[in-house]
Structure formats: C-alpha cells, structure tokens
Amino acid sequence: MLAEEASAAVDASAASPWWRGAAIYQIYPRSFADSNGDGIGDLRGIIERLDYVASLGVDGLWLSPFFTSPMRDFGYDVADYRDVDPVFGTLADFDALIERAHALDLKVIIDQVYSHSSDQHPWFQESRSSRDSARADWYVWADAKADGSPPNNWQSVFGGPAWQWDARRGQYYLHNFLTEQPDLNVHSPAVQDALLDVARFWLDRGVDGFRIDAINFAMHDPELRDNPPAIDGGKRTRPFDFQQHLYNQSHPDIATFLEQLRQVTDSYGTRFTLAEVGGDHALAEMQAFTRPGRLNSAYGFDFLYADTLTPPLVARAANDWPEDAGWPTWAFENHDAPRAISRWVSAEHREAFARTKMLLLCTLRGSITIWQGEELGLPQVDVPYEHLQDPEAIANWPQTLSRDGARTPMPWNGEAPNLGFSTGRPWLPAGENHRLLAVDAQEEDPRSTLAFTRECLRLRRVHSALRDGEMQVIEADEQLLVFDRHDGCEHLRCTFNLSAGAPTFVAAGMKLLSNGEIGERALGPYAAVIEEIA
C-alpha cells in the first residue's frame, strides 16, 4: 500500500470509535494462566500474560465472568455483581489488570449477566424469603396450577422444566438455565436500576465496555403463555429444542432497557456494548438491539455451532448485515462452542485451515472476537466423562458435545508440567494434542499459525477497507468464496478456497497476504489470498 494510503488508513481509524472493526481477544480466566498453583487461572495470571496478548495486535480483551459465584455455571451464576471471586483474586487485582492493559493500549470489556443471577445472591435470598419482602418481585415467581404442576410448559436450556418449586414462598420460580440460576424480573424498574448501578460500578473502575450475556432471555411474557411446539425438523437433543421460544424470552421491552444502558455507557465516553443473542429469531433481535440509541453491536451463533464452514454460509451471514442494519461482531469460536478446527475440517488439513480461517475472520466486515488459543490453531480436547465440569454436557450426555473441550488450559510451554498453565493440578486436564502447538514452540517458528495470526491482525489494522469498509460478495459456490472490501482509500479482493479441492482462481491485483498453494489458475486446498486492486 502506498504511503499516502497508509496515512489515510490511520486517519480513518482515528476518526471511528475504537470498537468499530476492532479485534477483541476473549479470555476465560479459569483456563488462561494460574499464578498461585491452585490449578485455576486467575487475574494475576492474566496480568502476567498481557504482554503476549498485546503482541498479537488485538485492540482489546474480553474477560469472561470473574465475579463472586458458587461456580455452578463457572461464573455465569453471579452471587455478587460488584466483587471478584476469591479464586480469581481481589478487586485490587482487577484494578491492576485494568491499569496494565491500558498501559499496553488494550481496551478491557467484561461480561455482564443481566438475565439471571445465582440462587446464592442476596437479592434472591431476600426474594424467596417472603412474598412481602422488599425484593419479592425481583425474580419471576408464579403459583402452581391447580394440580400442583408448573405454571406453563417452558423448558430450560440445560434440560427439564424451566420452573423450580420453592417451599419458602410456596411458588415456582423461573430459570431458563440451571435451577441455581433464577431469572431476574427485568420488567421491574427497581431491578433495571440495580443492574444499571452495577454497570456504573465497573465503568467507574475503568472498563471499556460490556459483553452482555444471553440478553434476549432478560424478559419473559408476563402472561406466562405456553410455548407452541417446534415446527422445524432440526436436531433435538433436549426438551428445550421441542418448542418455539416465543414467550420465555425475547420480550420487546428488552430494547427499552438497552436504551437506558446505552445512556449510561455513553455518559462515560466511548464505551463498547456487545449483545450475545441466540435462538431461532437471533438476526431480527440482534438488529433490533443495535438500532441507533441501543447497543453498539451484537453477535449470534451463525458460525459457533455450524457443522461446516462453507462459502454460502459466510455470504449469507455477511449479506444479513447491510450498511443500514447496524454493526455486527463475528466469532468462529468461544467458551460455549467446540473448537472450530475440530468441527470444520479433517485432521490432515487442520494446519492450513487454521490460517485460512483466521484470515477470513480478519477480513469480514464488523468487529471480531478471537477465543484464547484460536491464534494457535488449537483443536478440541476430548475430555472423558469422569473429568467433565460443564453442567450442560453432564445433563445431556452424550448428545451435547462438551464445552469443556474448548475450555481446557491454555498451552504456554510444551515441555512444562500442565503445559505451563499451572504448577498444580488443573481444573480441567490439559490437552495432550496441544503440546506441539504451545505458545513457546510457535513463538520460535516464523511459519507458525501464531505468526500468521499476527500478520492477519496487522493487515486488518493497517488497511482501512478491512477495518471499516464496505463488503460485497462476488462469488460463493461450494468451494470458492470471493468478496471485495473497499472504502474511499482502497479496494481489496479477498479470495478463499474453503474446500480440499483446487478451484479455478484468477488473480485480481497485487498480493498482500496469502496462505497455502496459490497457482496461476488455481487455489490449493484451504488456501486464501488478499489482493489490492488498483
């Protein structure tokens, strides 16, 4: 790229908010780095590894929950929204993490769990104590039917009815997830105010934004109408899959609450708000949640649970977000989904595919998140049943592929005990198939997936067309994906072979970055090339 074009790219990046087109590295604190040898990762361990995160070329990091919790769902069951669980450290450690990250020019976003809390949270303890308590309506309570059965037919994500009888109140309470995760009644103005105060608490400590967990579960149908049966022929491994989820989630008033949240975050300057949205109507909800005055961005599960990565899938996902439809964020992997390398390609092509997949992620229009270890090309770990920790996998064994296999400890040193994650026994077994892919081995190899990831992120950072430009899909057949990224400064052609074949390929311009075999007329298996068009 010419010098003046590079300067224009920098100027364009400076003119946009930091999160627009940003690359964010997701860290699961339990599994990233253990500083004290207890086998569980912690905030001090993260601080010690922040130089590595910064070296990748990402704009920031997203921390999965580290709040006080009984850990029935490993932090997504919050017992105190304003404190750090002792297993991870202290608020002082969190403050030190923020300070060090900002010194490295890394933004920090954290999870917020607004749809439910832990049943150990003082709010719930008070709510269940009496129908007349000050927080009696802070959770979703309902009387039994005349025959003693639950109020309706809603099912929980983790299996079984979404209602749990509570003898203290003589009523059922709603839990869309575990029974230990009662649903907050976010219809209540008092609950909304309390949650907004939680947001202010962390913004006051310097966080740069929030990833909001399962936000479309935050409000229910107050009439408690039954969900109708599912009408599609999709895979059904849980009772939850047998229903259309019209009434237990996705209430239209969620958007009004998000407008209040946005007002709070905007009062602190440029902060990033990112919604996680799943379900059959995810696209419509994501776009509703990201309208002006609501959240900055949203991501769903287009790729996270996809069995294969195909050109038509990528084209459809990209075309679902035209210029006037808000700003998407993309993830190929995260803490809730099996590693993409193991889902999308056979073992013989994993190394090439890991690079091509990363290059594709870094060229999509939108912001992106990279799951810890994705930059190394890590495959899924086969965690034996007796070592499982994931409550969903245990409840639905063997139909649900365990999330634990993607949450195993980060491999820092292939020669060290527990791959350098901890001097103690890790909470999940380290993956033996990660030994040769450990950070120390890849740091020494300029041809490694880690090195290629850094180059992909550098490319995204210096080319304004990739970070904030328009995207136009040119071709998307069973093998070849071709799209253009362009803005007022440059025009890039992105070509991907997402197959083991060798489709016809015609060069379009000056090659900027490539992976795999790039012939005069064909792309090799899982090869890709980014070109600049004059």
Single-letter amino acid code for the residue at 69: S
The share of the chain scoring above pLDDT 90, in percent, equals 90
Whole-angstrom distance, CA of residue 165 vs CA of residue 142 = 10
Catalytic residues: 213, 276
| pLDDT-based confidence at residue 401 (cuts at 50, 70, 90) | low
Q: Give me the pLDDT at residue 236, please.
A: 84
User: What are 357's two structure tokens?
Assistant: 């997949």
What are the structural domain ranges in the chain?
17-117+189-459, 471-532
For 359, left (φ over 0), alpha (ψ -120 to 50), or beta? alpha
Residue 400 — pLDDT band, cuts 50, 70, 90?
A: low
**What percentage of the chain has pLDDT greater than the value 70?**
97
User: So what's the pLDDT on residue 4?
Assistant: 42
Digit-coded pLDDT (tens) for 136-164: 999 999 999 999 999 999 999 998 999 99
The three-state secondary structure class of 218 is coil
Instruction: Report the pLDDT averaged over residues 260-267.
Output: 98
Q: What is the mean pLDDT of residues 289-318?
A: 96
329-345 burial code (b ≥16 CB/10 A, e <16): bbbbbbbbbbbbbbbbb
Contact 437, 378 (CB under 8 A): yes
Q: Are strands 163-166 and 80-84 parallel, antiparallel or unpaired?
A: unpaired
For residue 14, pLDDT over 60 is answered with no
- DSSP-assigned states of every residue in 412-439: --TTSGGGGS-SS--SSPPPGGGGGG-H
Judged against a pLDDT cut of 70, whether residue 193 lies above it is answered with: yes
With 60 as the cut, is the pLDDT of residue 8 above it? no
Provide the pLDDT confidence category of residue 9 given band limits of 50, 70 and 90: very low
**Distance of alpha carbon 151 from alpha carbon 164, whole angstroms:** 10
- In this structure, are residues 5 and 490 in contact, taking their beta carbons and an 8 Å threshold? yes
Asked if the bond preceding 398 is cis, omega within 30° of 0, the reply is yes
Q: Which fold has domain 17-117+189-459?
A: TIM Barrel (3.20.20)
In this prediction, residues 324-353 reach a mean pLDDT of 96
What type of residue is 252? P
pLDDT-wise least confident of 121-125, 211-215, 505-509: 505-509
Instruction: Indicate if the alpha-carbon torsion angle 26, 448, 531, 519 is positive or negative.
Output: negative
pLDDT of residue 391: 86
Measured CA to CA, the distance from residue 525 to residue 429 in angstroms comes to 33
CATH of 471-532, one of 3.50.30.60, 3.40.50.2000, 3.40.930.10, 2.60.40.1180: 2.60.40.1180
